Amino acid sequence: MSRKLKGTAAAPGIAIAAVVHFHTTLDQIPIYTVAEEDVAAEIGRLSGAIETVTESLLDLQKELAGAIGKHDVRIYDAQLAILHDKTFRKDVEDEVTERQANLEVALQRVIARYEGVFDAMDNVAMRERAADLRDIGRQLVGALVAIGRQKYIADGADYLFAADEFLPSDAGILDRAHIRGIVTAHGGKYSHGAILARSLGIPAIVGVDGFMQETTSGAMAILDGDAGIVLLDPTIEELADYERRLSEQQSVDSRISELRFQPSVTPDGTSVRLMANVEGVQDLEALELDTMAGIGLFRTEFAFMERRQFPTEEEQVAMYLRAVESADGKPVTFRTLDVGGDKPLGYFQMPEERNPVLGWRGIRLCLAWPDILYTQLRAILRASALGHARILLPMITTRSEVVRCREVLDQLTADLRANDVAYDAQIELGIMVEVPVLVPVLPEILEVVDFVSVGTNDLVQYLLAVDRDNQRVAKMYDPFHPGVLRVLSQIAEAALASGKSASICGEIAGDHWFTPLLIGLGFRELSMAPVFLPRVKLMVRSFSLDECRDLATRALAMRATSQIRDLVHQEIQPRWAAQLRSPSDDTFGGAPA
């Protein structure tokens, strides 16, 4: 019987291979007291170690330059900056001088102190930067004791890299021709190791508690990087299912290479705008903007979370300008600051809340601290002068919140006009539909906005009263619930009646099994993580509008989630499989992607 372990999905994809354990720590560290007359010589060893590690990192950076994006190569610049930081070096030297510790021990003590500072930070992304410190410490100690890590030679066998964590320097020991996935017991999806895995196209799951104890080298495992699941000792049926999915994944990749620049349009000519969700300007560098209609969700909070204080208006203008200029005339939808809940700011003291997901977050926080909202809206307005920017308000509950934001926007545009500052006078204002009570009053709110975007992650969670991260109830979180479909139908109908556009920007927008249903319900704009765009585009091109409407009508009449899933299994999956086996002629005319 197989065993299922849950972790955090860090890089998408499926991998099936034998586990190989990698030990990322040095087992034997010399410990001794340095005589006073030998302190200078002991400190002198540090220069040689820094030189050795610097050379190693530069070689690795050069080796990976052709395999990963230019932005991700800079991960090694961050490590080099730590390595040559004057404060870091002085702290190590002081440890040797004042406590007469040998250099290996001094490095470990200083790294441990620095890690404690990072671990105390509220910002998840910043906490995970502690891994870079551990990596530098490990490399320096390895250089001091002359222990070099050998490149792993897989001898032609595919394998899963398994370790306590995947650090940037580990990329140098991988047999990239045969590595199929990465599984770690620790780490997070914001760590530099996880970023490298995504950039290298290696499926990865991090934070799988007990994985190293549960497995041995050579054990067969399945890694599902989309769901964050590892199956140990899989059954014959599970292997067959995942081998089918892996084959499908490879077929999709092949098909997409043929049609990624083709329009996102149904066989009978209905255009569906496919857009990308991004977490910052750096994500734009890796996008093929010619394959999509624009940026449907730019999560501005990540730029706030990466800083030690609120970014100034000028800093925000520079960031938003880079985004709209990179989009080259295509829309960029900036969601205003959405912190609180699971996204705290380390430099902004948030009140303790028993249930922060239902608390002081999103637009509620920004209206309570208007300086934050004023500065951000003004910055977006200024950036809109050089591109197509849209403003999206999160966590809206009442019409009065939207009216207040509209008043702020009017005040800011009046001020910009009075001071001859350029902006787009036609800039659109939209809202996120996440709070269920908004749905029955949506017609009234649509009177004061230009578009709506459905945040299905929170909306479904609130509708079902299910915390997706609570393992006791997570299996109850199912967006194919009939009630969820009917709510989505209400939203699409209200938008259509008002003549306003409605998009989906939550996870179901990137679930290609959902695509025909969403089109049938009336949605013509879907925004998702870029990795899901190709599958969704292929699905759009597989069903006519009439077929989508028929599927949606039948699904809306169903009374059980299982019935809707059966519909997907019986009618959507076979069409998908047929499309992969015998691709139709992809020479439709139609609207641009």
CB-CB contact of 453 with 297 (8 Å) = yes
- DSSP lists the bridge partners of residue 486 as none
pLDDT of residue 249: 74
Tokens 């899933």 map to which residue?
565
Q: Put the strands of the sheet holding 220-224 in their side by side order.
A: 3-6, 229-232, 220-224, 14-21, 159-163, 179-184, 204-206, 8-11
Q: Which of 192, 388, 481, 512 is catalytic?
A: 192
192 is catalytic: yes
Give the list of residues 6+ apart from residue 87 with CB closer than 8 angstroms, or none.
Answer: none
pLDDT of residue 588: 40
Strand 220-224 to 3-6 pairing: unpaired
Q: Where are the alpha helices (DSSP H) in 292-438?
A: 301-305, 313-326, 363-368, 370-383, 399-418
Give the list of residues 6+ apart from residue 98 with CB closer than 8 angstroms, or none.
Answer: none
CB-CB contact of 453 with 296 (8 Å) = yes
21 is catalytic: no
Written as six digits, the tokens of 189 are: 């999806």
**Helix count (H) and strand count (E) of the chain?**
24, 16
CB-CB contact of 184 with 211 (8 Å) = yes
CB-CB contact of 138 with 158 (8 Å) = no
Model confidence pLDDT, tens digit, residues 175-219? 888 999 999 988 777 677 887 787 777 899 998 988 888 888 889
pLDDT of residue 304: 78
Burial class (CB in 10 A: 0-12, 13-18, 19+), 555: buried
CB-CB contact of 357 with 462 (8 Å) = no
Phi first, then psi: what are they for 335, rounded to 5°?
Answer: -80, 130
Give the list of residues 6+ apart from residue 265 with CB closer than 8 angstroms, or none.
Answer: 271, 272, 540, 541, 588, 590, 591
Tokens 């996870």 map to which residue?
507
112: number of Cβ within 10 Å: 12
With CA atoms as reference, report the closest residue to 347 among 318, 379, 313, 306: 306
Tens digit of pLDDT at every position of the chain (593 positions): 788 898 888 888 899 999 998 875 555 677 889 898 999 999 999 998 999 889 888 888 887 776 665 556 667 887 888 889 899 999 999 999 999 989 888 998 998 888 888 776 655 556 666 788 888 888 888 888 765 556 777 788 999 999 888 888 788 888 888 999 999 988 777 677 887 787 777 899 998 988 888 888 889 999 998 778 999 989 999 999 899 888 877 776 777 667 778 899 999 999 999 999 987 777 777 788 888 999 999 999 877 766 667 889 999 999 999 999 999 999 999 999 987 555 555 656 666 666 666 777 788 888 888 999 999 999 999 999 999 999 999 999 999 999 999 999 999 999 999 999 999 999 999 999 999 999 999 999 999 999 999 999 889 989 999 876 565 676 688 899 999 999 999 999 999 999 999 999 988 998 889 999 999 999 999 998 887 888 899 999 999 999 999 999 999 999 999 999 999 989 998 888 777 765 544 444 344 34
Residue 556 belongs to what H/E stretch?
Answer: helix 545-556
Q: Could you give the C-alpha distances from 441 to 396, 490, 588, in angstroms and in order? A: 12, 11, 40
Tokens 């007990």 map to which residue?
210
Give the span between the Cα atoms of 320 and 313, in whole angstroms. 10
269: number of Cβ within 10 Å: 13
pLDDT of residue 361: 77
pLDDT of residue 586: 47
The domains found in the chain, sorted by start residue, are: 3-22+152-237 (3.50.30.10), 36-144 (1.10.274.10), 249-271+434-593 (3.20.20.60), 300-430 (3.20.20.60)
With CA atoms as reference, report the closest residue to 160 among 213, 222, 100, 99: 222
With CA atoms as reference, report the closest residue to 179 among 8, 11, 60: 11
- DSSP lists the bridge partners of residue 20 as 161
CB-CB contact of 133 with 115 (8 Å) = yes
Q: Which of 366, 405, 505, 548 is catalytic?
A: 505
Phi first, then psi: what are they for 141, rounded to 5°?
Answer: -65, -40
pLDDT of residue 138: 83
pLDDT of residue 221: 94
Q: Could you give the C-alpha distances from 64 to 139, 172, 200, in angstroms and in order? A: 18, 9, 9
CB-CB contact of 514 with 540 (8 Å) = no
pLDDT of residue 529: 81
Beta strands in 233-314 (DSSP E): 273-278, 295-299
Give the span between the Cα atoms of 416 and 381, in whole angstroms. 9
Mean pLDDT, the chain, whole residue set: 86
Phi first, then psi: what are they for 29, rounded to 5°?
Answer: -110, 125
Half-sphere exposure of 473 (CA within 13 A, CB side): 9
Give the span between the Cα atoms of 320 and 300, in whole angstroms. 9
